[in-house]
Amino acid sequence: MRFISLLLLLTLVFCSKEATGTSDRISETTINLDNIETNPWWNDAVFYEIFVRSFYDSNADGVGDLQGIIQKLDYLNDGNPNTDTDLGVTALWLMPIFPSPSYHGYDVTDYRNIDEEYGTMNDFKALITAAHARGIKIVIDFVGNHTSDQHPWFTASASNESKRDWYLWNSNKPSYNGPWGQEVWHERNSSYYYGVFWGGMPDLNYTNQEVTNEIKNTLRFWKEEVGVDGFRIDAVKHWIENGNQQENTAATLAWWRDLYIFKNSLDPGLMMVGEAWTSTQNIAPYSDKRLDYCFEFDLSYALIDGINNQTNSGLKSKMSEIISTYEPNQYGTFLTNHDQDRSFYRFGMHERKAKLAARILLSLPGVPYIYYGEEVGMLGQKPDEDIRRPMQWTSSANAGFSSTQPWHPLNNNYANYNVANQQSESESIWSQYQIWIKQRTRNTALRSGTYDFIESNNSRMFSYLRTDSESNTSFVVIHNLSSQNTDDITIRINNSSLTEGTYNLINILNNQNMGSVNVISSGAFDTTLSEVTLAAYSSFLLKLEES
């Protein structure tokens, strides 16, 4: 349980702007919050990202659906911590489930309904009920920066029937392009509207209080009437533009502060995680009482690059920056997601690298996210459809995803890399995910404990201390980023929260004593694990037990 004791007197200033500038008209909202109680359940969770269209087809139409997820819940988590046949994840992030003209759903036409290809609202409520019965939370993708150009709001706005100022219009085309050089002004009915991503996704105008109120009421609907546990919110840095300043504006940050207050008024435990695809320092303001946390993109790059380049330097410096930037553990960790080439592809189909990446992801602090199929070695390289291919369940026809031809061709590696094969092998990629998810779930120190980097005699070792002071439990985690076996591992730390004394290092995966450390009063230790070999791309998970 985390308590945020606040007395916030917030004057939130929203600048009502024309498409190319900012006017002087403002509105002020003064809000007093005191002793807000929050329960960050997400720090105890392991998330699994699902593209519903590609997960499992229950009705033989070639498209994955909500009933398909229900049928596969026992694969994700059967609700019994004593079994080893399920993956053990405890929260699901569903990519967009709203009606949309596109296959991906990131251009919404109705914020309060379900894409009919995926099922009905009753199907979704049944999924929530079944998931909750197994201890699984449900978080949905909320795409609020923009709608589809087929949304009734936009068609009315474009025809000037109503809701004209729900979007951004200009009679003349402004001269500037978007943040990555793209066209952002698009013509419709002799006027120009703003859409940062493309013309089929017109941006909403959040300087219009009617738009803000509609979105707040929509979030309330999904929480109170449907029962979701949270939202992954797309493109948070683009919410409000100021002329050609199109990301990370002061007005955007003020808007998110207001929404955070609103969210907490609904339920402080209603999670909001933001996608701000930018650097750690630019992400930080969004995680400061604007969203509960955001995804850490730089860390994902550092993790994969560290393994591919066999060095700890990037990981060490990035984790140091992260620890000094965010509130403890309030950031999302991942290898890749639905917008990036899959990790197994980026590792060159190197299984030992993929296993090592899983172990690092699941033993670092933060909130870990696993992209569906990553645990069985699914491949994928841009374009986007190819990194969102159907899930590989078996080696049979259509990879066990559907009894008919899937909506998109399968990966060509599904005969070997699938759930059935991987679950039957004790040293598979899947088994490493399952084992380390279980260890994280069992041990508070690995979920929400502190992090301290451990120096080594080898720059190809990435080692750290995870400690939970309440349970007085600590782990030394050692990863060999090298393609070579490593002997005589020296580990040292100058300061930590460890209590003075002598501790045995017990490998909790096989109960083997790997040596001991003598901790002095500052929490420092310096020791060599002699007669110990850590194989290439392997890891030790060592529990400190008082001698």
Give the list of residues 6+ apart from residue 227 with CB closer than 8 angstroms, or none.
125, 128
Integer-rounded Cα Rg, in Å, for the chain is 24
**Token output for 307:** 């393994």
CATH 3.60.15.10 fits 449-546, yes or no: no
Per-position DSSP letters for 27-68, written without gaps between them: E--EEEEEEEEE--GGGG--EEEE-GGGT--SSSSSS--HHH
Query: Which three-class secondary structure state does DSSP give residue 140?
Result: strand
- β-strand pairing of 293-294 with 271-274: parallel
Chain CA centroid to CA 291, Å = 13
- Which part of the chain is CATH 3.20.20.80? 41-143+296-442
Query: Contact 40/366 with Cβ under 8 angstroms?
Result: no
Catalytic residue among 234, 292, 296, 452: 234
Q: What is the DSSP letter of 289?
A: T
Cα separation, 265 vs 165, whole angstroms: 28
> Omega of the bond prior to 101 within 30 degrees of 0, cis?
no
Active site residue 275: yes
Is the pTM here over 0.85, yes or no? yes
Considering only CA atoms, which of 333, 332, 334, 375 is closest in space to residue 354?
375
Topology (CATH level 3) of domain 146-203: Oligo-1,6-glucosidase; domain 2 (3.90.400)
Where, residue-wise, is CATH 3.90.400.10 in the chain? Answer: 146-203
pLDDT tens, N- to C-terminus, the chain (547 residues)? 333 333 333 333 333 333 333 333 323 334 444 444 445 899 999 999 999 999 999 999 999 999 999 999 999 999 999 999 999 999 999 999 999 999 999 999 999 999 999 999 999 999 999 999 999 999 999 999 999 999 999 999 999 999 999 999 999 999 999 999 999 999 999 999 999 999 999 999 999 999 999 999 999 999 999 999 999 999 999 999 999 999 999 999 999 999 999 999 999 999 999 999 999 999 999 999 999 999 999 999 999 999 999 999 999 999 999 999 999 999 999 999 999 999 999 999 999 999 999 999 999 999 999 999 999 999 999 999 999 999 999 999 999 999 999 999 999 999 999 999 999 999 999 999 999 999 999 999 999 999 999 999 899 999 999 999 888 999 999 999 999 999 989 999 999 989 999 999 999 999 999 999 999 999 999 999 988 999 999 999 999 999 8
- With b meaning 16 or more CB within 10 Å and e meaning fewer, what string describes 259-295? bbbbbbeeebbbbbbbbbbbebeebbbbbebbbbbbb
CATH architecture of the domain covering 41-143+296-442: Alpha-Beta Barrel (3.20)
Catalytic-labelled residue, pool 57, 107, 123, 275: 275
Q: How many H-runs (helices) and E-runs (strands) does the chain carry?
A: 14, 23
Q: Is 234 annotated as catalytic?
A: yes
